[in-house]
Amino acid sequence: MTVEIICVGTELLLGNIVNTNAAFLAEQCAGLGLECYYQTVVGDNAARLSLCLQTAMDRSDVILLSGGLGPTEDDLTKETVARLCGRELLLHEPSRKAIQEYFERRGIELTDNNWKQAMLPEGCIVMENHNGTAPGVILETEKSKIVLLPGPPGELVPMFRESVAPYLAGLTEKVICSQTVKLCGVGESKAEMMIRDLIDTQTNPTIATYAKTGEVHIRVTASAQDSKACGKLIKPVVKELKNRFQNLIYSTEEDATLEKVVVDLLRANDLTVTCAESCTGGLLAGRLVNVPGVSDVLKFSVITYSNKAKRKLLGLRKPMLQKYGAVSPQTAEEMSRGAAALAKADVAVAITGLAGPDGDGEEKPVGLVYIAVNVKGNVTVEEYHFSGNRSKIRESAVSAALVLLRSCVLEYFSEITFGKKK
Amino acid sequence: MTVEIICVGTELLLGNIVNTNAAFLAEQCAGLGLECYYQTVVGDNAARLSLCLQTAMDRSDVILLSGGLGPTEDDLTKETVARLCGRELLLHEPSRKAIQEYFERRGIELTDNNWKQAMLPEGCIVMENHNGTAPGVILETEKSKIVLLPGPPGELVPMFRESVAPYLAGLTEKVICSQTVKLCGVGESKAEMMIRDLIDTQTNPTIATYAKTGEVHIRVTASAQDSKACGKLIKPVVKELKNRFQNLIYSTEEDATLEKVVVDLLRANDLTVTCAESCTGGLLAGRLVNVPGVSDVLKFSVITYSNKAKRKLLGLRKPMLQKYGAVSPQTAEEMSRGAAALAKADVAVAITGLAGPDGDGEEKPVGLVYIAVNVKGNVTVEEYHFSGNRSKIRESAVSAALVLLRSCVLEYFSEITFGKKK
């Protein structure tokens, strides 16, 4: 089955916003096993939207539209689709009531144009919007299924997951399910090499790798008569992936992030953590604070950008800094020791490096970063060479620090298990 | 003149990457005064790409294509365009030489397929690529001008600025120039209201507002026979905007960011700065560290997530914390005083708030944030109510802190000028 995505909005045509809806819908459709060959962006203009719709209806089974369901005159996606399909717009009483309640709860006065959002094409399937006022619409015509979604990602994403995904899954005789295996600490090409034989012989389930910053995701997708049968097909493949990648896998949960897994690992082992950041300037702590409830493990953290701060807060000695320089394995190690002592934390991560655009005037190249992880006094230091501009280097350093932090904590506990430490 | 954007790449159709190229090209074209009615994404497939190209050539004067200029079999944008326009691909000697030198400089061995990138359509205009190996191409046909750009943003963006923008500007008899006036500390609707009369009577130059997180940009675009004449049209409008918005304008430079302007302001006044962050967890320091050379003003910064950290590092007293709570104007003020003392910094910014998803169990709502700015002992505290999810609230808080920091420093010096402080 083929699907096509049309995003409606003048702000997209003017480049005021980046089209994250298209990327989300495309990724979801690929996960459902649908073939997507075209994406289009068109403005809030009835004639041009009609043209795009007509073309899409001639070549695709399913058309996903986002945007243009708002209450103003500019919003005309629903009106245009209805006209093209020869359907009347009728007042949909449950939607009218939902809109009224939405405004009453917020104590906001309704204006007349709000009722426009309750006018829906006759014979359509209505999808409730729990995060806004515009209901979603599915219109089934002889040629194609047309799905209308609201433009704001905060409304589109949950509506897709709740209503559209099950609908699309139900269109085929078969069910499509997938599971993502998330790796860190390994590059995409190496990961692919390690499972080349599996990829080459794949039929059902299929196996695909996706590179993310500092991570690789492997998606295993099966198609079968029901989800139980899909699970049976996926399970042995995921088992084999676990067998091959071992600890490089940080999660097989759909909504897990690397920082969440790291925070959970620390919490499960009753460890507190602190960071001492130089070139990343707070972004590592910022990633950890992404995780709700991080306060159980992160009490505080410091950004020691200058040498003076490294000396004053972390107790580094001047001769050492002069001898090795601020960007050195020795400085990274001492920063991690100083941070652990300052914060009285079990684990400390220190980052020092050159994010550019200028070098340090000496022989050290831009992109050189040292990361030290101190787990209860056991310090591991790694050297990295990142490429890209200043912000890319800093982003890569933060991802690498999370990966190293995770592996050092895992290693510490595996060594304890083997009786080396206590 | 109309322009249309076609982005080629299977990774876009699969949703593996977000289409930032389309947003960049669209914004640039709008800035050049070109009308853009359609954007399309299509995979690396000759038949479907031909179809899209044909449609675009029938309706638009200029077609911008990105992607598919690489050395592999998959990359077929150039080949498809050449075939459709009836042009041969010929070896372009300067490009061949540039590719050879590119690899030699990096000590990488060339593979045979690399030469494919030096095969260019006969009669085309060649654009040098200073950041990769694929040259850009402009093909002028009777119907339209077709511009081929490499897919990686690090190559596409500089090539557009260097070669495509001047080419497009030269296509019209008139020159189009624009200047952006960047505001902070005011919402888009209020900003629009303050210049409603100017917007309503605009013809040349045109005036458009754009909302960014915590900022509003106003773009003034003029069209005239040359850039000098454009400048003459733009100047009085910018002067009027400066007159109306005064200190709400933080820059009129194209490449200025709010954090850069703040760092420059601090440096110009010989002030050092430090941050004490709670809910933002390092993101404010991270924004400041975006600016190269920030080490002149930012020596260090702390993330005091727990109450214990606030007490230990910043010297807050337990009874005060118990009486007012961690999220309170009193705590924000004390944090800013403690941070300034700890870092011996002239200016300290403190942020404390509830980023959610859960509240504090008391009556304080998610999204409540207090920001304190301490300029040499003069503390200003502001209360904010942000909406959105955890990351949106934190991002809004960081922007608000930069805005407040800037206005407090400006106010401090304006009061000095008026003789209130010394």
- What are the pLDDT digits (tens) for A28-38? 998 787 889 99
Residue B37 near chain A (CB below 8 Å): yes
pLDDT digits (tens, 9 = 90+) for B278-288: 999 999 999 99
Find out whether A288 and A273 touch, Cβ atoms under 8 Å.
Answer: yes
**Do the Cβ atoms of B300 and A300 come within 8 Å?**
no
Distance to chain B for A240, nearest Cα, Å:
24
pLDDT digits (tens, 9 = 90+) for A214-262: 888 898 988 888 889 999 999 999 999 999 999 999 999 988 999 999 9
Per-residue model confidence (pLDDT) at position B10: 84
Q: Say which of A43, A288, A298 has its CB closest to residue B37.
A: A43
Model confidence at A111: pLDDT above 80: no
Model confidence at A360: pLDDT above 70: no
Q: What is the mean pLDDT of residues A99-124?
A: 84
Q: What is the mean pLDDT of residues B22-48?
A: 92
Q: Say which of B15, B23, B295 has its CB closest to residue A24.
A: B15
Q: Say which of A26, A299, A389 has its CB closest to residue B305.
A: A299
Per-residue model confidence (pLDDT) at position B422: 44
Residue A343 near chain B (CB below 8 Å): yes
**Do the Cβ atoms of A40 and B40 come within 8 Å?**
yes
Of B33, B48, B42, B56, which Cα lies nearest the Cα of B12? Answer: B42
Model confidence at B32: pLDDT above 90: no
Average pLDDT, chain A: 90
Q: What is the mean pLDDT of residues B121-143?
A: 93
Per-residue model confidence (pLDDT) at position A422: 44
Please name the residues in contact with A136: beta carbons below 8 A apart, sequence gap of 6 or more: A69, A126, A127, A128, A129, A147, A148, A149, A150, A159, A163, A164
**Do the Cβ atoms of A14 and B37 come within 8 Å?**
no
Nearest CA in chain B to A6: B40
pLDDT digits (tens, 9 = 90+) for B377-402: 999 999 998 877 888 889 999 999 99
Could you tell me how many helices (H) and strands (E) chain A has, helices first? Answer: 16, 17
Model confidence at A421: pLDDT above 60: no
CB within 8 Å of chain B, chain A residues 149-188: 154
Per-residue model confidence (pLDDT) at position B392: 82
How far is Cα A259 from Cα A283, in angstroms, rounded to an integer? 12
Q: Say which of A30, A289, A308 has its CB closest to residue B15.
A: A30
Q: What is the mean pLDDT of residues B226-233?
A: 90
Q: Please give the CATH architecture assigned to the domain spanning A258-417.
A: Alpha-Beta Complex (3.90)
Per-residue model confidence (pLDDT) at position B361: 61
Q: Which amino acid is at B349?
A: V
Q: Helices in A213-257 by DSSP H: which ranges?
A: 227-245
State which H helix or E strand residue B150 sits in. Answer: none
Average pLDDT, chain B: 90
State which H helix or E strand residue B133 sits in. Answer: none
Q: Say which of A283, A305, A308 has its CB closest to residue B282.
A: A283
CB within 8 Å of chain A, chain B residues 209-268: 210
Per-residue pLDDT band at B417 (split at 50, 70, 90): low
Give me the residue label for tokens 């944090």. Answer: B335
Q: Say which of A36, A300, A304 has its CB closest to residue B300.
A: A304
Per-residue pLDDT band at B235 (split at 50, 70, 90): very high
Per-residue model confidence (pLDDT) at position A208: 81
Q: Which two tokens stand for residue A84?
A: 């093209």
The answer to which of A157-161, B153-157, B414-418 has the lowest mean pLDDT is B414-418
Q: What is the DSSP letter of B161?
A: I
**Do the Cβ atoms of B281 and A282 come within 8 Å?**
yes
Model confidence at B172: pLDDT above 80: no
Q: How many A-B residue pairs are in contact by the CB < 8 A criterion? A: 213
Which chain B positions have a beta carbon within 8 Å of A397's beta carbon? none
Residue B354 near chain A (CB below 8 Å): no
Which chain B positions have a beta carbon within 8 Å of A279's beta carbon? 289
**Do the Cβ atoms of B15 and A37 come within 8 Å?**
no
Residue B304 near chain A (CB below 8 Å): yes
Domain extents in chain B: 2-171, 175-251, 258-417
CATH of B175-251, one of 3.30.70.2860, 3.30.450.20, 3.60.130.10, 3.40.50.880: 3.30.70.2860
Predicted TM-score (pTM) of the model is 0.76
Model confidence at B133: pLDDT above 90: no
Q: What percent of chain B has pLDDT over 70?
A: 97
Of B253, B248, B204, which Cα lies nearest the Cα of B229? Answer: B204
Regarding the domain delimited by A2-171, which CATH topology (the fold level of the hierarchy) does it fall under? Molybdenum Cofactor Biosythetic Enzyme; Chain A (3.40.980)
Q: What percent of chain B has pLDDT over 90?
A: 63
Q: What is the DSSP string of A129-178?
A: -TTSS--EEEEE-SS-EEEEE-SSHHHHHHHIIIIIHHHHHHHSSSEEEE
**Do the Cβ atoms of A300 and B295 come within 8 Å?**
no
> B2-171 and B175-251 share one CATH topology?
no
Q: Which amino acid is at A195?
A: I
Per-residue model confidence (pLDDT) at position A133: 87
CB within 8 Å of chain A, chain B residues 91-110: none
Model confidence at B421: pLDDT above 60: no
Q: Which two tokens stand for residue B122?
A: 């006969």
Distance to chain A for B41, nearest Cα, Å:
5
**Do the Cβ atoms of B37 and A42 come within 8 Å?**
yes
Per-residue model confidence (pLDDT) at position B297: 94
Per-residue model confidence (pLDDT) at position B234: 95
**Do the Cβ atoms of B15 and A26 come within 8 Å?**
yes
Model confidence at B321: pLDDT above 50: yes
Distances (CA, A) of A145 to A2, A45, A58, A152, B372: 11, 22, 12, 22, 54
Which chain A positions have a beta carbon within 8 Å of B55's beta carbon? 55
CB within 8 Å of chain A, chain B residues 371-390: 388-390
pLDDT digits (tens, 9 = 90+) for B12-24: 998 878 999 999 9
Q: Choosing among A25, A299, A394, which should be mutated to test the B contact, i.e. which has the most B CBs within 10 A?
A: A299
**Do the Cβ atoms of B19 and A22 come within 8 Å?**
yes
**Do the Cβ atoms of A27 and B16 come within 8 Å?**
yes
Q: Which two tokens stand for residue B255?
A: 């490449």
Per-residue model confidence (pLDDT) at position A113: 77
